[in-house]
Amino acid sequence: MTAEGKAITRREIGERLSRRLGLSARESGLLLEAFLEAVSRQMEEGGAVTLSGLGRFAVRSTKARPGRNPKTGEAALIPARIKPTFTPSGSLCKLAGRSPALSRDDDWME
**Fold for the domain defined by 10-105:** HU Protein; Chain A (4.10.520)
For the purposes of burial, counting CB atoms within 10 Å of the CB of 14, is it exposed (0-12), middle (13-18) or buried (19 or more)?
buried
pLDDT digits (tens, 9 = 90+) for 24-61: 999 999 999 999 999 999 999 989 999 998 899 999 99
CB 85 within 8 A of CB 57: yes
> Phi and psi of 3, rounded to 5°?
-60, -30
pTM: 0.66
Beta-ladder partners of 77: 66
DSSP H helical segments within 22-88, as ranges? 25-44
Domain ranges of the chain: 10-105
CA pair distance 72, 76, nearest whole angstrom: 10
